[in-house]
Structure 1
Amino acid sequence: MTLAPAPAFAQAPKKEPVDCEQVKCIALTFDDGPGKYAGTLLDTLKKYDAKATFFLEGQYVKSRPQYVKRMVAEGHELGNHSYSHPDFTKSEAWTIRSEIQKTQDAVKKAAGVEPKLLRPPYGMADLQVSDIAAEFGMPMILWTAGSQDWSTKNVDAIQKQTLAVAKPNSIILMHDWVKQTVDGMPSLIKTLQNKGYHLVTVSDVVKKENLEPGDIFPVPEGWEK
């Protein structure tokens, strides 16, 4: 009996790392995907040699695995955003663990890797969520500012808001299921690059923070661990 070889998952060639303490960096992050416009977004990112971080929901990974495979192959970063987007602070521990594990499994099946970052749904976390994130070896990543794309759903408004909050080492919240976000991405990326920004992954931006599993960044006001 001859066993078929395991599937190969090609990854992008390693580029020289960007030192975000020496140059202007910004991390665009996309939640709730992969959305149905993810392919177009990936085409744009590739065209402009920009990297991003995708916080994926397992239910959509399962239905759109081809995009997840592309994300890895093209050098983007993957994060875990639960399987079905419940509020973890209102969930039992077993539910949180299941939501995280099912997404880890779905991503590994799709792309041969497991996410190393967790973004809890709605950005909601407490000490129980922190402890469970630590069990999975993951720091939790929130955002420094949002594009408000899910609300405005307007290309000009999304770009105006994003540029208004863009600062060195910003982590911007966006969504690849919002068509207007994807439609406006070429113009937004060109504008950011013309302002001197390198579009990088979250891990590039937070490298200097030396985050441990269970840590949260940025630290919410009043957070104690």
Structure 2
Amino acid sequence: MGFISLIIILGTLIASVIAQQQCVPYTSNYTFTTGYPPIWVTPGAETFTTPEFQQLNKSLNWAMVPNIPPNKLVNGALDLSTYSASDPNCWWSFKNCVNPKAPGLNPDISFCPEPGSWGLTYDDGPNCSHTEFYDFLKGQNQRATMYFIGSNVADWTNEAKRAYADGHQICVHTWSHPYMTTLTNDQVLAELYYTRKAIKYVIGVTPRCWRPPFGDVDDRVRAIAQQLGMSTDIWNLDSNDWKMIPAGTSTPAQVDSIFEGFVQMGKNGTFATSGVITLQHELNNGTMSKAQQWYPQIKGAFKHLVPVASCMNITHPYAETDITYPSFGELVGSGSTSGTGTNNPSSSGGSAPNSTHKSSSVSMTSCISLISTVAIMLIAQLSSTLF
């Protein structure tokens, strides 16, 4: 085994230990055993019969929700075979429709109107192993929009709080990450409401934005979200990072080629009159590493990398009126992509308890032991080479 190979092994093993140590379950003072659906389970009858949900259900004007039947899954995929080619329900999964056809619904947020701007977003957090990634963003003075899964918020409360403390915009990404158009009205309502409730409980703010998993939304689902006061956020550039192995079948090189295409579009004037909102993920170490790898080139190709709230000039991204975010002009004028708005959990009036992390940082003993082992291998390799 060569010297370079041992160095690579050292780096890989240390990264593995770091991820494993960060993902050790810890004790949290936040309780989700009552008042929430079971974690990672699509809400059902046990949720719908609670007084809290029944009161919520009655508060909606269901006459404003189009009478659209739920779509179906066939072998785990959406069944598009019988859907009308005219796309009467503005079903994004069919032809990427973002302008609702039902009256009274707001268009989806799908791009940044500011020329050459890049709406930076990451789905599926919080992630137990994202410390290095968040450290990277903080080191770049970079804010982004994070679309959080409610069950992940319940599982990883400290990581959720870190995201907000770092100044990232927090939005809803459902409770259990389903295809939303396949759910009943009650299930749609519960997926959105309890994720928002969990974010409020842990972080102290009430998001006014959500992103449908897989982009699967139609006018029925939009109408329910809008009555909860949430915008529907989509994207117009998909990195396909979520398809990368081991989660999917795409190779890192294939994802690299997609990012390279984005860089070229940023440089050749494709977005000279308006900007983009991207789909990226903090799904696993692979997607987060890829985000860090391409960040410098993306930043060099586009004028501004900003959260969706700022690129849309949304200065109050939460229901709490004392929480402000910088407008696009303020953000760009400050010369900082981290902005100057107030994003302080204590200012929202949230009273959720603190979490106690059992193993939130890397075990130094594990790292020292690992480094010592590989160092011995390196010395042995050098000795055999020199002597």
Give the alignment of 1:45-84 within 5 angstroms.
45-84=137-176
Q: Which residue, 221, 234, 239 being the options, matches 1:147?
A: 239
Runs of 4+ residues over 4 Å off in structure 1: 20-23
Three-state SS of the structure 1 residue aligned to 2:280 is strand
2:262 maps to what in 1?
A: 165
Deviation per CA, 1:151-207: give whole Å up to 9, x if none. Answer: 124544434312413544211111112322212333311112222432211122233
Unmatched runs of 5 consecutive residues or more in structure 2: 1-111, 246-250, 315-387
CA RMSD of the aligned region, Å? 2.1
Q: Partner amino acid for 2:278?
A: I
TM-score (norm 1): 0.76
Give the alignment of 1:30-179 within 5 angstroms.
30-153=122-245, 154-165=251-262, 167=266, 168=271, 169-179=275-285
TM-score (norm 2): 0.46
1:214 maps to what in 2?
A: none
Unmatched runs of 5 consecutive residues or more in structure 1: 1-19, 209-225
Count matched residues: 189
- Separation of aligned partners in 1, 2:211 and 2:143: 18
- Separation of aligned partners in 2, 1:83 and 1:77: 18
Higher strand residue share: 1
- Separation of aligned partners in 1, 2:177 and 2:139: 31
Q: 1:184 to 1:89 in 2, by over 3 A?
A: closer
Q: Partner amino acid for 1:165?
A: F
Q: Partner amino acid for 1:95?
A: Q
Note if 1:206 corresponds to 2:312: yes
Q: Shift of residue 36 of structure 1?
A: 2.8
Deviation per CA, 1:118-163: give whole Å up to 9, x if none. Answer: 1112211112111101111111011111111111245444343124
**169-178 or 154-163: which moved more?**
154-163
Q: Shift of residue 81 of structure 1?
A: 0.8
Q: Shift of residue 22 of structure 1?
A: 6.3
- Separation of aligned partners in 2, 1:162 and 1:119: 22
- Separation of aligned partners in 2, 1:21 and 1:58: 29
Q: Which residue, 293, 296, 299 being the options, matches 1:187?
A: 293
Identity %: 28
Q: Which structure has the larger Rg?
A: 2
